[in-house]
Chains A and B, each alone.
Chain A
């Protein structure tokens, strides 16, 4: 290249850089605080995305979009329930949009895919939906506001032998949370004197429950323990009823994902009497929850919030509180420090973000499906307080 062109280009680049820096410094205080919310809005877990989006928007409607003098901007991206897309979107959000916080993560593979991006860019990642224990270990910048399967599975394993259930077959979806549920439920049940007759795993995509349920029918256990991701519960329930399993004396127990509030009312009478353990029921009798459910239904055409929505709602609270603690300045490490150790009252009950593990500590409730005012609800009848994730407790 000619020396003159070279010098000219260098000068132009230098001028541009100087202008940017000057502009950058001037804008630092006024730049909006960006939250990059990556959710499955289409694809298999689209109901999760819908619920969390509605909850996040509800939070911002109730609490405004300005925190400590800084405007908060919510950027929602659809990862179509594919972890490769999640990773790409996380990268784009961090590099192009320069988000201050990443959030969402509809399924475990998505959270694990985005983890390295959070670590490399020192951006806190608030996991609002995914539920496998190891997620918080995938990156030191991950904070979870959803739940973990081990947390909710051991509670029902303790309840079962005290209520006439000695032999169980487990049926789970074959991915992270499912395997966690199977492991912790079986171990606790065997510890309490029960027997696990068989452990069946159904593929995550395109699950066809009929042959597996037929196998359960032939094994004749006292109960069938089920874990399937949010949204697949209805299919299991229908097949359960169609095979006449309730009439054959097999009870259905599981984690609350199978009686997901989002679908519960449409499942019909076959769901009555099903006992599950979970961290949130839309029928939780606290004032905070009543307000939350009412506001949610009003803003979303009577759609009932489920545990995914509560994870999103609390995730937004964690982000807002952390931003307040840094006085509006933000910054990856400062925000992370602000998120750890938060204690607050969530619509689900009291919640604590453990400072060591960055995971959520919450109450786990035992609930039974009952009909109230013409609708089906998960009515809580027992509670185990402040359950730490057994998958990690050292």
Chain B
């Protein structure tokens, strides 16, 4: 049982890293970016291709995936996304879906549609078992690594948001964009850097997740629904909201598949429906925030 909890936490943290960029950009720019999964896929493929073709060690690939995807995100924001901020949500949805389909086809064309197999370094392949019988805690070293990296990223994010000037500018722009611009905050730069970091985090999540979730060109379409659930349940006005939502969903998913295998994947959706019926704005939204 403890092992299931551990696996659920690892899965939840991974989901969080993947979805936090989406939550922040949705809250900040009020832009429905369904192409977020495509950035995650790019990060995953950067890692896999660097490891397979250039022999770059896994641990070095992670920051490269982050930076590479962040750059891609910055370019996309400046050229593709910015003209669409004022448009109605439906246009944004159509645009981002189009972007996803293009990225899926492009990756399929250049790399092929097989599942990419990642060979982890040996120090990440082991497993540690503590305890006995029903209270055994089995921790795969890779999942421990995921939890460690994601926890570090979360702490960093929270620190940036609450202790740096950039963080306060970001929070101001999320609260009320027009007033923030009126106060002299360069909202364009805030948007650009936030989008870039959000996409970079998605790329990092994709790189970390390739081993656990599998990597093929249909990755953005398969997992988009999970990111959206995390954002819907967690709300877009903070990062602790999506964090708790992701953990909840990760644990529910893994535990559901273990204890009730027949219902397996449906547990997550049932939970989401129940939570949204109870709190339509999401579990952790401050009352009175701008809609």
Contact = CB atoms under 8 A, between A and B. Distances in A.
A387 interface: no
A43 B264 CA distance: 22
B53 interface: no
A43 B257 CA distance: 24
B114 A244 contact: no
Interface residues of A, number: 34
Contacts of B257: 208, 211-212
Nearest to A242: B140
A263 B117 CA distance: 9
Mostly, the B contact residues are: mixed
Contacts of A234: 115, 117
A201 B263 CA distance: 10
Interface string B3-19: 11001000100000000
A64 to B, nearest CB: 29
Given A210-B212, A243-B138, A231 B4 contact: no
29 contacts: A47-B113, A47-B114, A50-B113, A50-B114, A201-B261, A205-B222, A206-B265, A208-B213, A210-B254, A211-B7, A211-B254, A211-B256, A211-B258, A211-B261, A212-B257, A214-B138, A214-B258, A215-B258, A234-B115, A234-B117, A242-B140, A243-B127, A243-B138, A244-B129, A244-B138, A263-B115, A266-B117, A266-B119, A267-B117
Interface residues of B, number: 35
A200 B261 contact: yes
Contact of A214 (B7, B108, B142): B7
A307 B256 CA distance: 35
A268 B265 contact: no
B125 A242 contact: yes
A46 interface: yes
B161 to A, nearest CB: 32
B214 interface: yes
Nearest to A244: B127
A262 B115 CA distance: 11
Given A211-B254, A215-B258, A231-B115, A206 B222 contact: yes
Given A46-B113, A244-B138, A215 B261 contact: yes
B175 interface: no
B217 interface: yes
Contacts of B114: 46-47, 50, 231, 262-263
A291 B244 CA distance: 58
B135 to A, nearest CB: 12
Interface string B109-139: 0001111010100000101010000000010
A238 B212 CA distance: 9
B218 interface: yes
Contacts of A42: 108, 113, 217
A243 B140 contact: yes
Interface string B86-124: 000000000000000000000010001111010100000
A242 B127 contact: yes
A44 interface: yes
A42 to B, nearest CB: 5
Contacts of A217: 138
Q: Which 9 pairs from chain A and chain B are nearest by CB?
A: A46-B113, A211-B257, A211-B258, A244-B127, A266-B117, A211-B254, A242-B140, A234-B117, A206-B222
A212 B142 CA distance: 18
A44 B217 CA distance: 9
Interface in A27-58: 41-44, 46-47, 50
A41 B217 CA distance: 12
B211 interface: yes
Nearest to A40: B113
A69 interface: no
Interface in B1-46: 3-4, 7, 11
A24 interface: no
Contacts of B125: 241-242
A6 B253 CA distance: 68
Contacts of A266: 117, 119
Interface in B204-224: 211-214, 216-218, 222
